[in-house]
Structure 1
Amino acid sequence: MDFTTPEEHLALREAVRNICSEFGQDYYVERAEKREPTEEVWEALGTYGFIGINIPEEYGGGGAGMEELALVCEESAAAGTPLLLTLVSSAISGEVLSAYGTEEQKQRWLPPMAAGTDKVVFAITEPDAGSNSHKISTTARRDGDDWVLTGTKHFISGTDVAGALLVVTRTGVDEATGKAQLSLFLVDTDAVGLEKTPLPISIGLPEWQYILHFDNVRVPASALVGSEGDGLKQVFHGLNPERITGAAICVGIGRFALDKASRYGNERNVWGQPIGAHQGVAHPLAAAKVEIELAALMTQKAASLHSAGQPAGEASNMAKYAAAEAALHAIDATIQMHGGNGLATEFGLMPYWGLARLLRIAPINREMILNYVAQHSLGLPRSY
């Protein structure tokens, strides 16, 4: 096992950091406060081939793997410009379409996704299904040569800046198990019958969440991704990358927070010495540093397993759990050491706390990860 960092990864980190540092914290906080998308960062990374670094070269991507995409996510966040939509467009949709899309679908969507000029976001969550994908009620039924979609999705990120949705639907029931048969469809965000309603949330983020109503949305047969009824397998091919990139963003947020904290701890002096000299300030930051480093290692392991085509579910879940916890500890300790300044817009810490807190819940909450580990890693009886 070699823990040395390849030269190409060091160069990738430096390149992403240089691009994102041109925008930085002030840019991100302003966009978060105004609820405006950070499209300039996305497009800049796309111009240099980093947004689609995991997309095959023949479709305009970098031809690299999940390790490289995770590095892009981590470094952009560490530079103060975390990009939430990398989880859904670059990771889920990029991986699913690369693996299961038809040639026509790949030619249409992968090149603009790789270039950073368009996005395909993911629509699975429903108000009555939550983490139970077998309860999905959004249906797709055949009507001649077309499919007709009906149902509702909640908390769908980035619908306002995406050209298409990758929609998870129910297309039947497995007679042997009674569980839903799922199928995936590409649906244009301007499709007739699709109603998009912003879902306000209290934390300030650049990315909007949406409620989507599919009122007999008609799509051609060519919109089906992969095989009918194989959607669950396709979904899980995308969910591990989502968890890996979510973990990477959390690692980046933790690094960003600890960098701010270290500088403040050396500069702020109220008792005759820098406040970072006090153990009550230093120890929470040191503990958070340990947690971030551990989370980064698990994220690297999960990304490596996925890229190698090995089972990555356990490592991806553990990485997501560890990184979200570590990021929250890091940003919370940073806010605490700033005192009242930690809540001041001028210091710009709260949007990062909000994103870290969101990533503790989504794309899968910590409790469901613990259920997974208890059942699959420890062999304990299923609890749900």
Structure 2
Amino acid sequence: MPTTDSYADIRRRTRDICAKFPNAYWRALDLEREYPYEFVTALTESKLLASLIPREYGGLGWTLTEASIVMEEINRSGGHSAACHAQMYTMSALLNHGSQEQMSAYLPGIANGTIRLQAFSITEDAGSDTTRIVSTAEKVGDEYVINGKKTWTSRIDQSDLLFALVRTSPRNEKEKTKGLTLFLIDLRQVRVEQPDALEVTKVRTMFNYATNQVTYKRLRVPASAVVGEVGEGFRYVLDGWNAERILLSAEAIGDGYWFIDKATEYAKEREVFGRAIGTNQGVQFPIAEAYMKIRAADLMRYKAADLFSAGEKCGAEANMAKLLSGDASWESANVCLNTFGGYGFVAEYDVERKFRETRMYQVAPINNNLVKSFVATKVLGLPRSY
């Protein structure tokens, strides 16, 4: 397990990069919902985005615990990890289930920044009911032909590779998770050889998530693009989902600390009725309560990350970390906005921008109600509700 000193070094390395991209940088991008290319490039060159890639492929060979600290520090600096977090959690599917040929072909380039992997294409109109995916891949000779539509595929324009989960056999009510296959698609070849096979429609969202709707129109991919076994893709993305929940928990924790830091600083400086507003317990107590909830959620984040890093089951802890950290960051956001009062709605203070960003953790990467259902049925043994 990493030492406290190694954590401190990771935090310092991340903060040094983030310091070059202050709040004004993110504020300017937010106006036009622009992608932070310069920031992602700096992170890539620092190797921090290659945290989970083994050293033999040019990465840092870190654990998820250490990688989560990078995500936390980005958000705590005032930045937004959504621009690059997918490159972290997609590693699980590739490292655990990819072929040696796939890893050798792609991991060194991802580590050194010549290959970008930020796009994961899963969600359809069925939403969280992933077993009802209807996009298909049909085997034709040595290729698969993919057809269908995905409602949320982020950063496809910023990626060279794309993970796509599609159906290769009809849905079976007795084995609902079977029949889905995970493909690792080289977009560089697609853009040259099949430019009309992907229809990408940008989706403007409440904050910059660089997301899109993607329609697959007889996209041909080689059989070598299959990750693991045909029909077992659902099981493979579960690894990525647990990593995703933990990494985004760390992001929410980073947001929470950012809000607490901003609220505390402002409460010390802002004077009304002849004294600092932080003198009033009505201002103090909400900040203190929110801070304690962030600290408590942080413990679950580390527990989940440590279990994942040790190769142990962590589904319950990953889900609980996601819910607790998301709730804590949202409370911190509201406390911060209340502390700033009217100024909290003014763009130059950055509170309203981060307020919009941290709201996402209530519904993504999994809705909080589904987390509660998971804990109720999988942990407590209550009857299934869906």
* TM-score category of the 2 structures, normalised to the smaller one: over 0.9
Deviation at 1:293, TM superposition (A): 0.6
The one-character-per-residue Cα deviations of 1:84-108 (angstroms, maximum 9, x if unpaired) are: 14432211x2121111112232233
Name the TM-score, length of structure 2 as normaliser. 0.94
- Give the letter for the 2:53 counterpart: I
Corresponding residue for 2:49?
51
Corresponding residue for 2:203?
199
SS at match of 1:327: helix
- Give the letter for the 1:204 counterpart: F
CA distance in 2, matches of 1:16, 1:33: 25
Query: Which is further off, 261-270 or 41-50?
Result: 41-50
CA distance in 2, matches of 1:121, 1:325: 27
Corresponding residue for 1:100?
97
SS at match of 1:166: strand
Deviation at 1:189, TM superposition (A): 3.7
Name the TM-score, length of structure 1 as normaliser. 0.94
CA distance in 2, matches of 1:302, 1:63: 19
Corresponding residue for 2:377?
375
The one-character-per-residue Cα deviations of 1:145-199 (angstroms, maximum 9, x if unpaired) are: 0001111111211112111210001111476825241110122346321111011
SS at match of 2:168: strand
Match of 1:364 among 339, 363, 366: 366
Alignment map for 1:289-304 (pairs within 5 Å)? 289-304=291-306
CA distance in 2, matches of 1:6, 1:162: 34
Alignment map for 1:1-384 (pairs within 5 Å)? 6-91=4-89, 93-117=90-114, 118-127=116-125, 129-173=126-170, 177-179=174-176, 180-189=178-187, 191=190, 192=194, 193-201=197-205, 203-205=206-208, 207-384=209-386
CA distance in 1, matches of 2:113, 2:264: 34
Q: Are residues 176 and 348 of structure 1, via their aligned partners in 2, closer, same or farther at CA, if it must alter by over 3 Å? A: closer
Deviation at 1:284, TM superposition (A): 1.4
SS at match of 1:51: helix
- Give the letter for the 1:362 counterpart: A
For this pair of structures, how many residues does the alignment match? 378
CA distance in 1, matches of 2:299, 2:38: 30
CA distance in 1, matches of 2:135, 2:42: 36
The one-character-per-residue Cα deviations of 1:242-274 (angstroms, maximum 9, x if unpaired) are: 000010000001111111111111110011111
CA distance in 2, matches of 1:120, 1:83: 12
Is the Cα–Cα contact under 8 Å of residues 48 and 70 in structure 2 kept in the other structure?
A: yes
**Which ranges in structure 2 are unaligned for 5 or more consecutive residues?**
none
CA distance in 2, matches of 1:315, 1:215: 39
CA distance in 2, matches of 1:17, 1:140: 43
CA distance in 2, matches of 1:109, 1:296: 33
Q: Are residues 28 and 115 of structure 1, via their aligned partners in 2, closer, same or farther at CA, if it must alter by over 3 Å? A: farther
Deviation at 1:282, TM superposition (A): 1.5
The one-character-per-residue Cα deviations of 1:229-251 (angstroms, maximum 9, x if unpaired) are: 11111010110000000100000
SS at match of 2:78: coil
Deviation at 1:116, TM superposition (A): 4.1
CA distance in 1, matches of 2:78, 2:172: 50
**Which ranges in structure 1 are unaligned for 5 or more consecutive residues?**
none
Q: Are residues 139 and 174 of structure 1, via their aligned partners in 2, closer, same or farther at CA, if it must alter by over 3 Å? A: closer
SS at match of 1:155: coil
The one-character-per-residue Cα deviations of 1:198-223 (angstroms, maximum 9, x if unpaired) are: 1122x232x31100000111101111
